[in-house]
């Protein structure tokens, strides 16, 4: 990764009136590999932490029910710059797109104030745990997700 790395593109939906979910995450010493930067696998931990905040923790804090029953269909990540140990937390900023009957897509940037370290996309499917099969998103879930679309 060098200074000539591709420039980060805006997240889908960015524009006037758009809103991102923001999750702050401290880079830990245990995240650093033998090359002195955050190991690529740890980026998925950061995405998972942000996803849990978006779907489970924050709705409960707002007085609602945490949304349960989502499974990851796929992940895609593009590493833009090395992320190293730092005193200040990084942010995982997330937008939602492609809200359909039983699935939606999360677009993430792992960044600080001046640099984007990685961009990722996660497709989630709503899932009925008891029936062990996909289910439709509820109206309440769709309304919540649209807040970040």
Question: What domains appear along the chain, each with residue ranges and CATH number?
Answer: 21-146 (3.10.129.10)
Task: Using pLDDT thresholds of 50, 70 and 90, give the confidence band for residue 112.
Answer: very high
Average pLDDT value over all residues in the chain: 88
Q: Name which residue leads in pLDDT, 123 or 62.
A: 123
Strands (E), the chain: 21-25, 70-79, 90-97, 103-111, 116-128, 133-134
- What is the pLDDT at residue 58? 73
- What is the pLDDT at residue 15? 54
- What is the pLDDT at residue 64? 66
Residues 116-137 have a mean pLDDT of 96
Rounded to two decimals, the pTM is: 0.84
Are 107 and 10 in contact by the 8 Å Cβ rule? The answer is no
């Amino acid at each position: 990764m060098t200074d000539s790395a591709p420039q980060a593109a805006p997240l889908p939906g960015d524009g006037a009136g758009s809103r991102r979910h923001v999750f702050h995450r401290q880079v830990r010493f245990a995240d650093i590999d033998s090359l002195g930067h955050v190991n690529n696998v740890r980026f998925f931990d950061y995405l998972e932490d942000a996803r849990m905040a978006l779907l489970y923790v924050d709705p409960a804090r707002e007085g609602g029910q945490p949304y349960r029953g989502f499974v990851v269909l796929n992940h895609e990540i593009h590493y833009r710059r090395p992320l190293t140990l730092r005193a200040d937390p990084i942010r995982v900023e997330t937008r939602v797109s492609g809200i359909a009957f039983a699935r939606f897509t999360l677009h993430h940037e792992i960044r600080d104030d001046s640099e984007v370290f990685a961009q990722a996309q996660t497709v989630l499917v709503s899932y009925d745990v008891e029936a062990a099969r996909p289910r439709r998103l509820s109206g309440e879930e769709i309304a919540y997700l649209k807040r970040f679309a």
